[in-house]
Structure 1
Amino acid sequence: MLKQSADKRRIEKNDKPFFYLADTVWSAFTNIDLTDWSYYLKVRKEQGFNVLQINILPQWDRSVLKKIQEPFGISEGFFDLKAKNEAYFKHAEKMLEMAVNQGFTPALVLLWCNYIPETWGAKFGTSPLFRKEDIKPYTEMMLEHFEQFKPIYIISGDTDFPTETVTDYYLEALETISKKAPHALKVLHICGRLKDIPVNLQTHPALDLYFYQSGHNSEHQSMAYTLAEHFSQLEPIKPVINSEPCYELMGYSRQKYGRFSREDVRKAAWQSVLSGAIAGISYGAHGIWSWHEEGSTFGSALGEGFVSPFNWRQALHFEGATDYAFLKSFILANDLTTLAPINLVLNQTPEIRAAETEKVVIIYVPSNVPIYLKGQFVSLDDYAIDLEQGKKVSLAKILHEEKTEIQMTPFLKDSLYVIHK
């Protein structure tokens, strides 16, 4: 069973630190057959992932190869809960049974924003909606199907909160989960770059985590650390996770030319966890989240307008996944789950991020330059890791009055510095 730590900043499993490392596979229930699912689970388990983020309902911007099963009938633009497709949920249950047997925790989205009236996603008019009076019975129905798998419940998906109506929908779902599954972790997945959650949701005692989304806009990648700082300073304190950083080889949003590289997504991850989002991180590969097959179509005109994904078989082996797995293993192996941001770096850029425990300072250096730190750090055991090649070198330092200069390493890309106090 997952729960908050005593200080409310981390997640624990069986009273031991649990670092949430999720892969994003929103379209699993509609797009993946059991043979491919088995192979996918094998690969992600070997890499070290422990959470799978899945949309219970059809992902509106998924890749499309053939007609899918719908979870419910549709009448006059709304879901008809009385016309439930039992085969849809039987398939979903089998997928989750396989995942849980491999050691994964499901993180299930109840209500992606396109199904909720008045959200930004609903305005496209491509999806059926929920009536407000159906939210409680729908949520109870999902509990009957999925509570056996002990999931994390993600109440919303990619949502904004433009009206009280929207907030009320999510409150109804949150409170229903709270009454029926009080020990399950509950969280909101919010749209890119959003930081303001309605106070009656943000302070609700049933909301256990803060998710944020630094997103896929190439001009706003600083949100990885600025939103981590914001959410980690909110009251009440809750564990913070960047649940949607830029996805590997996703095109830039707004149809801007370019794709996010392995180095880009690695940078977003380290900048997040060292800036207050220490409870975990989510990874996404462009081709996995939408489950893109040979011959699939992809709606590049939908939402933020992303270019076509790669085939899922190729995307499954993007190298950024191993970088995220290394981040998790490094945090746990070095007892770093208590890292807290520290204002230590004197270089005139916010891109270099630093956090500390009682024993060490961890610094993420995106580009190889001399680093200047407040205070003097004299340990001969300090070292740097090349985050792409995995090489390790000792750090050369020059001590100045009240500051330490760390000389350049031989690394060509981003690196992690480990400084002993």
Structure 2
Amino acid sequence: MPMLKVSKNRRHLETSSGETFFYLADTVWSAFTNISFDEWEVYLNYRKRQGFNVLQINLLQQWDASGTELNIKPFACKEDGSFQFYSRNNEYFERAEKMIELAVNKGFVPALVLLWSNYVPDTWASNIDDKNNMPLELVEEYVKYVDSKFSKYDPIYLVSGDTDFPTARSIDYYRLALNTIKQLSPHCLAAFHIRGRLMDIPEEFSNSDQVDFYMFQSGHNSEFQYMSYKLAEEFYNKPVKKPAINSEPCYEQMGYSRMKYGRYNRFDVRKAAWQSLLSGAGAGVTYGAHGIWSWHKEGKDFGLLGEAFDKPFDWRKAITFEGAWDYSFAKKIVELYKLYDLKPLDIVLKDTKEIRLAVSEQSANVAIYVPVNTVITLDQLFANYHFMVIDLENRRFADAAIMVEEGKTVIDMHLFEADVLIIGEKRA
């Protein structure tokens, strides 16, 4: 897989040869502690055929992973089960390296988390469980070791995992990790994976040229799903321009956070993706399946740490969820219509923010996400465009019925019952 870089216009990622790279990731946070090599091969082959090109993985043990029969951890354990950070298990990291080598050989870019929030003191996760806070004096040595094992594979480094930045001490950890990995391997892209609904990271990081792109997560709280477009707008309009990615929208079949009854279905997950992509986070998007990220097996335990979710599905079932194909289809649509560097526009004359619209460079293409069927009036004239409606649930195409009047464009109700993407292509 070629090395990645940020485009000159600071809106998307591209390969070293200059080809646009649409970031389509799957979250498999618990890979290194929970997945056997045989399972890993099955998983990689399946996701590769679906078109995924990035894997988001926690380098250390995921604090809310499912139980596993594998007995391999990154450090020796004390009697209470917490880590003895001064006694690293090299066998664990050697095994992880073999897994990464296999993934890279199949065409994936690893996105590796250096320090999930529970490993850093004062974060929201450490306020729940602080028994595995890594000593600050070991952070530099740990990152150097990670660099020696993994940087040869040109990964993306996610300096943080699901974090906030509540204190100077927590920032010290992330500053040290970022500076160390960038000094050792400046060719590897770096970003911060931050807590759900968080809109800001410290200015020293957002302004830093060591942080290559923004990641946010609209998350799993059922009351705040509008964050899929709200956060995209926020990061698109940051003073320091960088590509933006929704790195953790709601996961398919994930129970609502805080054990609220209900699960996110295929439509919810698809809506989060398209609302993010058309609202400023057009560099890519991440998918998640409840049972894959924690690598769950029927009969194994699943705890209530963190945000507390309902029981996951067995990974063999979760890998087949239809929403992953919807994300794969989204990548194909972006590539087919060259929906890169999209600029969000507020020209939909409707009393809702749920319908999202963006235009590509020089307004060559217009993309509109419509979650519920309705007549749409646009406060702009698109007389010289051909509009196509794409049924996102059944992946069908149909011509749109368009009227142009008094400087406005009216798109009549379409033929489908599910959510759609409407594409307007400028005629030559």
TM-score w.r.t. length of structure 1:
0.97
Structure 1 partner of 2:379: 374
Q: 2: distance between equivalents of 1:337 and 1:381?
A: 19
User: 5 Å matches for 1:21-420?
Assistant: 21-66=24-69, 68-74=71-77, 79-125=83-129, 127-299=131-303, 301-357=304-360, 358=362, 359-379=364-384, 381-420=386-425
1:398 Cα deviation after fit? 2.4
AA in 1 matched with 2:387: D
Conservation of the 8 A alpha-carbon contact between 1:167 and 1:201? no
Alpha carbons of 1:97 and 1:67: their partners in 2 closer, same or farther (altered >3 Å)? closer
Structure 2 partner of 1:8: 10
1:376 Cα deviation after fit? 2.6
Residue range with higher mean Cα deviation, 353-362 or 26-35: 353-362
AA in 1 matched with 2:7: S
1:123 Cα deviation after fit? 1.9
Q: 2: distance between equivalents of 1:76 and 1:9?
A: 49
Residue range with higher mean Cα deviation, 372-381 or 9-18: 372-381
Q: Deviations over 1:83-112 (max 9, x none)?
A: 221211111011101100100000000000
Conservation of the 8 A alpha-carbon contact between 2:23 and 2:283? yes
Q: 2: distance between equivalents of 1:150 and 1:177?
A: 12
1:75 Cα deviation after fit? 6.0
Conservation of the 8 A alpha-carbon contact between 2:256 and 2:262? yes
Q: 2: distance between equivalents of 1:53 and 1:220?
A: 23
Residue range with higher mean Cα deviation, 79-88 or 334-343: 79-88
SS of the counterpart of 1:286? coil
Q: 1: distance between equivalents of 2:196 and 2:28?
A: 18
1:79 Cα deviation after fit? 4.7
AA in 2 matched with 1:162: P
Q: 2: distance between equivalents of 1:125 and 1:351?
A: 37
1:400 Cα deviation after fit? 2.4
Q: Deviations over 1:215-254 (max 9, x none)?
A: 0011101100010010111121111000000000100111
Conservation of the 8 A alpha-carbon contact between 2:371 and 2:418? yes
Conservation of the 8 A alpha-carbon contact between 1:60 and 1:127? no
Conservation of the 8 A alpha-carbon contact between 2:218 and 2:248? yes
Q: Deviations over 1:326-365 (max 9, x none)?
A: 1111111222112111122111111100010221110000
AA in 2 matched with 1:304: E
Q: 2: distance between equivalents of 1:100 and 1:132?
A: 31
Residue range with higher mean Cα deviation, 164-173 or 324-333: 324-333
1:405 Cα deviation after fit? 1.5
Residue range with higher mean Cα deviation, 82-91 or 354-363: 82-91
1:391 Cα deviation after fit? 1.1
Conservation of the 8 A alpha-carbon contact between 1:135 and 1:172? yes
Conservation of the 8 A alpha-carbon contact between 2:24 and 2:53? yes
Conservation of the 8 A alpha-carbon contact between 1:347 and 1:371? yes
Q: 1: distance between equivalents of 2:170 and 2:198?
A: 15
Conservation of the 8 A alpha-carbon contact between 1:377 and 1:420? no
SS of the counterpart of 2:273? helix
Q: How many correspondences in the alignment?
A: 420
Conservation of the 8 A alpha-carbon contact between 2:337 and 2:365? no
Conservation of the 8 A alpha-carbon contact between 1:65 and 1:295? no
Q: Deviations over 1:11-36 (max 9, x none)?
A: 00121100000000000000000001
SS of the counterpart of 2:241? coil
Q: 2: distance between equivalents of 1:75 and 1:294?
A: 28
Q: 2: distance between equivalents of 1:95 and 1:67?
A: 15
TM-score w.r.t. length of structure 2:
0.95
1:127 Cα deviation after fit? 4.1
1:381 Cα deviation after fit? 2.7
1:196 Cα deviation after fit? 1.6
Conservation of the 8 A alpha-carbon contact between 2:34 and 2:70? no
Structure 2, gaps ≥5 residues long: none
Give the fraction of aligned pairs with identical amino acids, expressed as a percent: 51
Q: 2: distance between equivalents of 1:217 and 1:81?
A: 33
1:183 Cα deviation after fit? 1.3
Q: Deviations over 1:39-89 (max 9, x none)?
A: 000000000000000000000000003363221125699754442212111
Structure 1, gaps ≥5 residues long: none
